[in-house]
Amino acid sequence: MRGVKGLSVAAVVTLALALVAPGYAQSRYFGELLLGEIGLSPLSLNVQLAGGQTDALGPMSVRGAVIFSTVNGGVYASVQAEALYPVPTDVFTLYVGGGMGVRYSSGSGADVAALGTLGFDWPSGTQQDLSILSEVVFGYWLNSGPGVSVRVGPRLYFDLPGRTKESP
């Protein structure tokens, strides 16, 4: 149990760093509100509220999330932090990433996970600051084992103060 507490502290520190990472002139904030997630293994339904910053760690984006889910008849609250590496194409942005998560349920206690993400950021076509996010998340939870889920929902980009759309 001592290892789980240590990993929980590491996850909280990682999330804090992700949320306060220093920005660069080309950075933009983004928010993912009411992102829907279906867990395939184990079967679950989730709602995610997330936010992050592009180009926060060199070319990588950082994202922090709060997730509420139902798994095996229980209700869980999770906190996750990830670093995402973008690979732009002509049509969409592919990205890969990894991070950590901590979830808690009053019935089963705390659990810690290592996460891997493969996602697509599809531009809306009509709004420059709006895109549709779709991603597959692979996780290994220490107490409950491996899991796979699919997330889909809107991502809205915000400019940092002082940045104009014409600036690089």
Query: What is the model's pLDDT at position 24?
Result: 44
Query: Structure pTM?
Result: 0.76
Question: In the chain, where are the structural domains located?
Answer: 2-21+40-158
Fold of 2-21+40-158: Porin (2.40.160)
Q: What is the pLDDT along the chain (168 residues), one digit of tens a residue?
A: 444 454 555 555 555 555 554 544 467 889 998 788 888 877 888 888 999 998 888 899 999 999 998 877 788 899 999 999 999 999 999 999 999 999 998 887 899 999 999 999 998 877 778 999 999 999 999 988 899 999 999 999 987 666 555 433
User: Structure tokens of 166?
Assistant: 């014409």
Q: How far is CA 117 from CA 56, 64, 133, 145, 153, in A?
A: 18, 13, 12, 17, 15
Identify the three-state secondary structure at position 51.
Answer: strand
**Pairwise CA distance, residues 158 & 62, whole Å:** 15
The residue among 105, 30, 109 whose CA lies nearest residue 63 is 30
User: Structure tokens of 30?
Assistant: 């983004």
Helix-, strand-, coil-residue percentages of the chain, each rounded to 5:
10, 65, 25
Identify the three-state secondary structure at position 19.
Answer: helix
